[in-house]
Amino acid sequence: MEISGKVALVTGSSRGIGREIACGLAKKGLRVAVHYHRDREAAESTLASLEGGPHAAFAADVADAGSARGLVESVVGEMGGLDVLVNNAAIFESHPVPEVDYEGWQDAWSRTIATNLIGPANLSFLATHIMMERGGGRVVNVSSRGAFRGEPETPAYGASKAGLNAMSQSLAQALAPYGIFFYIVAPGFVKTDMASSLLSGPGGRYSFAEPSRARRHPGGGRTDGGVPCLGGP
């Protein structure tokens, strides 16, 4: 797929890994739809850092089905199409079994699955229908090592990312005949706002030094997880 001038929607791109992905895609010549939930100022900062363009920022709650639909419709309406979707937005909430009550447990699971799995599923459905009309496209889902090793303090997060992987495999098979290809990237810990509290704890240093993570990291230590490399053929 020739990517110059194509439109990429990157969810959660006002900061962290999402911002680095947006910058990398813009550098490759794509026009980027910067998604944010509430922090418009951070989204504007990301926009200002992007090469090329024109780019634009869009607010939406990806956990809400109607908001997800409005996001895709707004991107297509303002930017003229949608060729690449990067499902990066996610939440990471601590809910260790010995420390939370049943209501807290349910709340954490509901919010996490809605944001990290159902949101990407809805956006993938909406985006790929646009891509089918345009002759193909790319969907990149940002997973996590927690999908493979478990997350004892945040089990809903690990489950949501494992589900994201399974969904990606299923949709890859279903949509390949339409020229739509799915990718999964599972970076290790990256120093972002979301991971800062965990990495500042006693296990944080070990997480960065872990040899197996370094060997498997597809981005070779890049803070964008190598996602911009997947935008082309």
Task: Verify whether residue 157 is a known catalytic residue.
Answer: yes
- Active-site hit among 157, 178, 183, 206: 157
Nearest to 79 by CA among 20, 26, 146: 26
Residue 194 CA to residue 129 CA, distance in Å, equals 31
Is 231 buried (19+), middle (13-18) or exposed (0-12) by CB count in 10 A? buried
User: Structure tokens of 116?
Assistant: 């990290």
Residue 2 CA to residue 76 CA, distance in Å, equals 19
Residue 63 CA to residue 112 CA, distance in Å, equals 9
Residue 152 CA to residue 211 CA, distance in Å, equals 21
Q: What is the CA radius of gyration of the chain?
A: 17
Q: Which residues participate in catalysis according to the annotation?
A: 157
